[in-house]
Structure 1
Amino acid sequence: MKNHIPREKTKKINSMPQYLDRPGIAFSFDDSFRIYDWYKYGKGIFEDNNVKVTFNINAFHHFEGKREHTQKEIDMLLELQSKGHEIAHHSFSHKKATEYSNKFGMNGWIENEIESLNKWMKSQRHSKTLEGFKRPVTFAFPHSLFNEQYIKELVPRYFKIVRGHLHNDNLISFNHSGFAPSICLDGYYSVNLFYLKKMMKLAKKTGRNLILTCHSILPKEINWEDYSWGEESKKSGTWRITPETLQEIIDQAKRMGLAFYTTSEISGVATFIDPNFEKYVKVLISNSTANWILIADLCSIKELDLSKKEISNLDGIQYFINLEKITLDSNNLTNFRLLDKLPKLKEIIYNSDLNVNVI
């Protein structure tokens, strides 16, 4: 038996997604050995403010014997992804691209630092949900060291955007491809909030976007030495932003009417956790061989029949902002919260024998 649910009987939408219709900012956090800081001090702020950010990861801990991430750390990263945050590429072991390729060649750097992390990410699963990482859309150069040749090698073969540091007016347009500048908020590159406010005003005035690079999220009272990572970690300890400063920037952006995006969203790419869902969408838009599914290609779709597609996760549905009707029969779905992100959805059709509440 099927249920037809008129939209007015579904849960009230708390906040409408705004994709590519107004300028905004993208927080971009580097170095995943800082995952505990991100999770403990950032996750709540982002949830409370409905802010999605980008986390640029490596496969290993910078210290602690250069070990790979533990399963607990992988679970934490995947849980951040499940909340709508982007997990992006920051190279396998955080080597400086220019130095590494001088020793092993460009192909060696790509094989060992780019392709190796892609393979590592593809092989990981959450210990309970069994969800994996999405294919990374964007890349952040370690230490912001690169040249034009690296950009040509990486875009579009591996990524839609590769992020570095300051360049020109530091703003980028929607649907951007190639190099993207950013402003660093911590370490010795850190900018003051007065300058940042001017840049945010310029973004709003010109209709473009601002990427803000950060590293650890830590309260002032946290002593970096307490991590016991030794002398070699001291420099990394200076790259930190306080939760209070982060909240201040978010509040300022809201007052200016700026949106919050992930870097992949600024690039115009829609991402999906479930490969079956992604495969179906590529066929639907006649784009089965392309690298990326563009958000713009999904905005005109008003009806979606996902019946019998063996889909277990609806992540990506939030980009169908003009969707009016969706059919969900015979899938493996247990979470329907993202349907609340669809402002025009009027009808949901699903099997009545589901053991979960769709509304």
Structure 2
Amino acid sequence: MSVLPAPPLTLGPLRVATPVVLAPMAGITNAAYRRLCAEQGAGLYVCEMITSRGLVEGDAVTRSMLVFDELETVRSVQLYGTDPVYVGKAAEILCAEYGVAHIDLNFGCPVPKVTRKGGGGALPWKRGLLAEILTAAVAAAAPYDVPVTMKTRKGLDDDHLTYLDAGRIAQETGVAAIALHGRTVAQAYSGRADWEAISALVDHVDIPVLGNGDIWEAADALRMVEQTGAAGVVVGRGCLGRPWLFRDLAAAFAGEQVETLPTLGEVRDVMRRHAELLAQHMGEERGCKEFRKHVSWYLKGFRAGGTLRHSLALVDSLATLDALLAELDPDEPFPAHELGTPRGRQGSPRSKVVLPEGWLDDADGAGSHLREDTAETTGG
């Protein structure tokens, strides 16, 4: 599948040559992984989500997550918060102290420990609070000419949709673009993403809309843009164990036909590069431990034996990793049957979204009673 070259993604003063954004994923999109993906292709690579209160109060864990690779020229961070004051102060800190060029606000996380506090995907139900947070972030970033975007979901569930109101509020408050994950909070990562909702949002607002959900191959991204009119795509689980997907995406949006089917030897080289970058940023021992979670994603569908996989999942040094990688068959072809299949977490839909008491009683409220904590959590 090929198309004419796609126009760059424009976010205020920021121009992204290839309209592709790496979704922030907790424990995944650290500086090493962002560098690895950037080496494969062009796009915007977003840091792991951090909490605004943690940043403002100087929490050590939060600050430690704000690490950027030396070649990371465009620093992008996703911020989580439920308090407009904290979000505004955090946005200013990111701009003034960390030289961030783009701030994304998370209103899509479906994790119960986030939604029970009214955060993540639960927050857009409170239209007043959403407007206050967006206004505070945009105002704080404006003096630095840093664009603010937001990511959200369709709504809490099919009976409590919020995405069209969220898009309107984003546009009215000066947000540069809105990304929509075509699932509800109740769906989490189960089922199929609703691309028709993305199309409806495109028709509803004048700011750029980015589509997210079920992009497993470059062809999926092209289909999403063609079907929805989205200005670009946000890729999350599809790149787990497959950072070369960004090479395919860059080629596809440049109007070239491409589908990377690396041999196991080529995958092995990418695995080694990933571990090397983690070691550079975190130290060898910690970097190797961080690498362990990626092994099953890289080897998904390959014939590598269980004993070898188990040993790789316990690797504690680059020397050990090299010895184990040498046991892989470099000529084994890529398992084509894995193309287009889901990767990462999926799970089942939730019967009920965990929300603060009385949350659904007032959709226009400001939710000022919420208490934001400093705990870092997953994005979504």
TM-score with structure 2 setting the length: 0.36
**Greater percentage in strand:** 1
TM-score with structure 1 setting the length: 0.38
**Greater percentage in helix:** 2
